[in-house]
Chain A
Amino acid sequence: MNILKLSAKNLSRNKLTTVLNIVLVAFGVGILSILFLASTQIGDKLESNSKDIDLVVGAKGSPLQLILSSIYHIDFPTGNIPAKDAQALMQNPMVKRAVPLALGDNYQGYRIVGTDSSFTGLYGLKVAKGSFWNKDLEATIGSAVATESKLNVGDHFFGAHGLSNSNDEHKQHAYIVKGILAPQGNVTDNLILTNIGSVYKMHEPSHEEDQHHHGEEEKEINNREITSLLIQYRSPMSVVIFPRMVNQSTNMQAASPAMESARLFSLIGVGIETLKWFAILIMAISALSVFISLFNSMKEKKYDLAIMRCLGASKTKVFFLVMLEGLMITVTGALIGLAIGHIALTLIGHFQESSQARLTGYYFLTDELYLIGAGLVIGIIASIIPAVQTYKVDIASTLSKDK
């Protein structure tokens, strides 16, 4: 029979109050941990996907949209740019590496990206099975695509028009899977890579049934257009000159992933900040609630504590008994809160539509230790006053008095 067990018994005597307090702490910690986990994961994803890309050049429109569509493959592209203009930029001496992208098709929601071998260099891609694409209509698929669509090397599949799952398939040409990429932990896991020629071929007006559909795109193909260019500078000095040159002297726009990500984060930031304060408020309320219930139970517990003192418990022991009750509530609450956070994120990830930015609960942060620390601090704050009161209990008079 130690004081830990006694604290637990005391708490289980007032089950409802204990549960209420634990739930309050758990909610506060849970919301905070969801925020921590989600914002860190999103931040990491944004960063790992754009880490080697200095600039994206595409059709005029929203720069954020251009970044989202060309780097994160979430939004729709802003439009197309003429291939020959892109070619001119690729040859610019300030450009170390330029990766052309041709978007527009998907297979079961996975985007088919027409590009060249520089793409693999940019992302440092390796094949786990098979080989990279070589010829038209050959494709190398990301690891997540392979596991989820059950495609294997040698399989054939039809691309569908558009960027989200649709039935408008390009039946006239089938892709063949040449290889599967090793998992990269970034957006390329969810892409199907092929050469630009394949994308053009898909949209050639060779079949009559497609003509009415693709009449508009005929022009694009004749003029040979691509969607965007991912650019790596030769020197950091180009940061200032190059985008200005693109924006002013060509009919295209240049968008910096770093700047647009920062802008995106500042937009979500307000919501995250609000939620964070809300969670902190809940935790403050939980501290108050734990305090009130401990304080109220002190009247009743005065006898228990006096008996314990009388039976040989020292003042410090009794002090820690009361502290321990507060701490057990808040630390249990904090642990449950962390569990809620991870379970919630796993569920969110499970039901998430876009696989490009999928969140996972199997992700642990050192910041979470601070949340347990916060639980401890709340427990200490809430129970210190009731615990100090135990020092004032006069054993003799408490026990001689009738109840």
Chain B
Amino acid sequence: MIKIQSLTHQYNQVPKLQFPDWEIKDAEQWLLLGSSGSGKSTLLNIIAGLLKPQNGEVILDGTSVYQLSSRKMDQFRGQKIGIVFQKPHFIKSLNIYDNIAIASSLAGLPIDAKRISLLLETLGLAGKAKKYAEELSQGQLQRASIARALVNHPSVLIADEPTSSLDDENAENVISLLTEQAASSNASLIVATHDNRVRNRLSKECLLS
């Protein structure tokens, strides 16, 4: 469960961003909507523990994220939050399997080889485990990054414009996988998007203005 309260953030010389209070219950699936510049990415980064807000609180499973020490927060993020970026980034010197496995070890968790192969299989990447990022297509990489985001059984899955660089078929595919996998892992899902192909797929919406 995630709760955000009286969050504000200001980048240099840009009007202050003010975010509505928001509560996301376990396994709920939300769309985060808003025109560009409305602070969707900023809010996601704040929820993900990547950007410290100037004011306000983010409470995830009873823990106030920004009260944690920087080291604890890194680990907390690794264990509790799965993140899918607009552009999938992978460590180039590792193959897909190792890229997913390292998500477990960096979060301080044991590597569960079975879970990794199961995830790769359900995401249609069964044969790609030993491939490197540069050998895969954008759609495949985006699916692999979903696998990486889910490998540690996070309580929340955050996706920032996951479909914007994909064609219709891949976008459809990715959004289905996100919702299905979040549901089967019992994780809350937050998808920030302005992609109309995604809008009607999730039940709840939060609009930033």
**Which residues of chain A have a CB within 8 Å of any CB of chain B?**
1-2, 6, 9-10, 12-13, 300, 303-304, 306-317, 395-396, 399-400, 402-403
> Are B93 and A314 in contact (CB-based, < 8 A)?
no
Partner of B75 from A10, A300, A303, A312 at Cβ < 8 Å: A312
B168 within 8 A of partner (CB): no
> Are A1 and B74 in contact (CB-based, < 8 A)?
no
> Are B93 and A310 in contact (CB-based, < 8 A)?
no
> Are A1 and B87 in contact (CB-based, < 8 A)?
no
> Are B75 and A307 in contact (CB-based, < 8 A)?
no
Offer 19 A-B interface pairs, CB within 8 angstroms, sorted by A. A1-B101, A1-B105, A6-B91, A9-B93, A9-B98, A13-B92, A310-B48, A310-B83, A311-B103, A311-B106, A313-B78, A314-B70, A314-B74, A315-B71, A315-B74, A396-B50, A396-B51, A400-B41, A403-B87
In the complex, the number of residue pairs spanning A and B with C-beta atoms less than 8 Å apart equals: 82
Most buried by A among B76, B77, B91: B91
Q: How far is the CA of A12 from the CA of B102 in the complex (A)?
A: 18
Partner of B45 from A6, A300, A400 at Cβ < 8 Å: A400
Q: How far is the CB of A283 from chain B (nearest CB, A)?
A: 27
- What is the chain A residue whose CB lies nearest that of B83? A310
> Are A1 and B98 in contact (CB-based, < 8 A)?
yes
A10 contacts across to B, CB distance below 8 A: 93
11 further A-B pairs in the complex, CB-CB below 8 A; given A6-B93, A304-B91:
A1-B94, A12-B93, A304-B92, A306-B89, A313-B78, A317-B106, A396-B41, A396-B45, A396-B48, A396-B50, A402-B87
Q: How far is the CA of A154 from the CA of B76 in the complex (A)?
A: 85
Q: How far is the CA of A198 from the CA of B2 in the complex (A)?
A: 104
B41 contacts across to A, CB distance below 8 A: 396, 400
Q: How far is the CA of A314 from the CA of B71 in the complex (A)?
A: 5
The 9 closest A-B pairs by CB, nearest first: A312-B78, A312-B107, A396-B45, A396-B50, A9-B93, A13-B93, A313-B106, A314-B71, A312-B106
B92 contacts across to A, CB distance below 8 A: 13, 300, 304
Q: How far is the CA of A242 from the CA of B89 in the complex (A)?
A: 85
